[in-house]
Amino acid sequence: MSKVKTIQKLHAEWVTSENFQPYGQVIFASEDGKPYDNDDAQLNLENGISRFYIMRLHHNGRKFDKITRHVQCTQCLGSLEGKDWFMAVAPPTQDDRPVLEDIAAFRIPGNCFIKLEVGTWHAGPYFDQEFIDFYNLELADTNVVDHFTHDFLDSHQLQFEIVIAKGAGSREQGVGSRE
């Protein structure tokens, strides 16, 4: 017998430093020579060998039923070529599943990157283009030994769909600044 599933829409807001704070950081361009401060990515990569690479992802819609976290490192993601993309996140938890009500979706412009805190639950990147190349900074073995996934289809018969929130359709919303 197949599972009956509910599709819950997540309205993606443009990411800002403030609205993304429970999940990590948003890093925008700064002038060369600026001294190190809290606007720079605060990284935790001490539990292994750092891996910085470019991954090509192909369009796979905006629906998901699994969400993952890494508990040994932070992770940085950004798109190349200025392409916008989407990410669903939930704050770190002590439990082996995220708090359902805390899941949020963000639209991320191509002029910044996000840093996920250790333990932040995440699904994505998602996007509407045929493919996007992303840069990714994590540990060399993150996807082998530090990849914990929760399946909402199994636990709640639930699937999420990221949709564009009203007002998040254009960049004229102050996106790309350190609001």
pLDDT tens by residue, 15-63: 999 999 999 999 999 999 999 999 999 999 999 999 999 999 999 999 9
Asked if residue 179 has pLDDT above 80, the reply is no
Asked if residue 119 has pLDDT above 70, the reply is yes
Neighbour count for residue 8 (Cβ, 10 Å):
13
Largest CA distance in the chain: 61
Burial-class residue 27 by CB neighbours within 10 Å (0-12, 13-18, 19+).
middle
Is pTM beyond 0.75? Reply is yes
- Please say whether the beta carbons of 24 and 90 come within 8 A: no
Q: Which domains does the chain have, with CATH numbers?
A: 6-26+43-164 (2.60.120.480)
